[in-house]
Amino acid sequence: MRRKPIIIVPGQPNSIFFEIFFKSLAVKKIISPIIFICCINLFKFNARKYRFNKNFNLINSENIKNNLMNNCIYILDVKLNKNKLGKIQFCNNKEYLNRCFYESFKLLKKNITYKLLNGPINKAKFLNKNYLGITEYISNYFNQKKTGMLIYNKKLSVCPLTTHLPLKLVPKKITKLLIQDKLKIINNFYIEKLKFKPKIAVTGLNPHCESISKFNEDEKIITPAIKLSKKKGISVSGPFPADTIFLKQNREKFDVILGMYHDQVLTPIKTLYEYDAINITMGLPFLRVSPDHGPNEKMINKNLSNPTSLYKALEFLDKN
C-alpha cells in the first residue's frame, strides 16, 4: 500500500541537517516517499559528501500527483540565492527558506500529504519579531491560533505554556484560558493521533508553588484552570513544584507535563532523554515535526552529530 509522502524542508543551508539525514537512513529504513524541498545542487553536494548513492527524482509542485512510490526520494528544486559575485549564499538566506516553506504549504493545501518535517533553523536570522518560533510561523500561515509545542518521547513528553518568550514577560501571559486551551490541545492530540487519553501534570510558576507576593499565580490562575479542565473530562493534576515533578517516582505517573515557560520543562526533558525526543506542533490540520536541536553550525563538516532525534522524527511520520 502506498503511503502519504513526508515533506522535508531541510532548513538552513549551513547546518548539520544533511549529515544527520543521511546517517538516519543508514539506521532506519523509511517506507513513505520523501519529498525534499530544497536546492537540488545543495542536495547533490551533500549526497556526494556523505556517500549517498540512492537515486532520486525531480518533481514539479504544479503537476505532482498522489502517485509517489514508497521508499523513494523526490526533489522539488528551490534555487538558493546568489550574491553580486554570483556565489551561492549559505548564510542568512531568509528568502530561500521562505520559498521552501511556501512550496511545502502548497502541497499540504493540495492534500498531497499531511506530513511535514523541517530541519533546524536559526530563528534569529529567519523570523521577524512577529513570531516567537517556527511553531508560530507555521501556525500563522494556516490561521491556527490555538496550537502547542510538544517535545515528545514515548515515556514522557512536555509542553511549554509559553514558548520563546523572555522570562520577565512570562507571568503576564499566563491566564486561565490559555492553560485550559493548552490542556485541551494536548488531550485532543493524544486521543486523535496517539489513540489514548493522556495523564497530564501541570507545574506551578513560582518555586514550590509559593510566592512572597500578594498575588500568587499558582493559587489564583493555575489551580482554578486545572479544576475547570478536570470538569471537562481531562485527566490533569497539579500544580506541582517544577523542581520535583521530574523525579522518577513522580514523572512515571504522567504522559505529559505542561510547564509555564520554555526552559522549565525543556531543560529536564533534554537532560533525561538527550536526543531521543522530537518537536511536534499540536493543533495544526497536519502533522508537523522537527528534530529537537538547532543548526549547530559549529559541528558542520565534523561528521560527529547525533542523528537520533531526526530518525525518531522520520520514524514517527512514517508510522502515522
Structural domains in the chain (count): 2
- Do 1 and 132 lie in one domain? The reply is yes
Residue 314: per-residue pLDDT: 94
- Do 154 and 113 lie in one domain? The reply is no
Low-confidence ranges of the chain (pLDDT < 70): 81-92, 124-125, 127-130, 294-297
- C-alpha grid cell, residue 297: 553550525
Backbone torsions φ then ψ of 237, nearest 5 degrees: -135, 160
Q: What is the per-residue pLDDT across 262-294, written as a single tens digit (0 to 9) for each?
A: 999 999 999 999 989 999 999 999 999 998 776
Instruction: Supply the pTM of this predicted model.
Output: 0.90
Residues 6+ apart with CB under 8 A from 178: 161
Residue 109: per-residue pLDDT: 93
- Do 269 and 164 lie in one domain? The reply is yes
Residue 146: per-residue pLDDT: 92
CB 288 within 8 Å of CB 264: no
Residue 80: per-residue pLDDT: 82
Residue 85: per-residue pLDDT: 47
Strands 256-259 and 6-9: unpaired
- Do 162 and 107 lie in one domain? The reply is no
Here the CATH number for the domain that contains residue 274 is 3.40.718.10
Residue 89: per-residue pLDDT: 57
Q: How far apart are CA 241 and CA 250, in angstroms?
A: 11
- Do 22 and 134 lie in one domain? The reply is yes
**Domain range spanning residue 183?**
147-278
- Do 47 and 157 lie in one domain? The reply is no
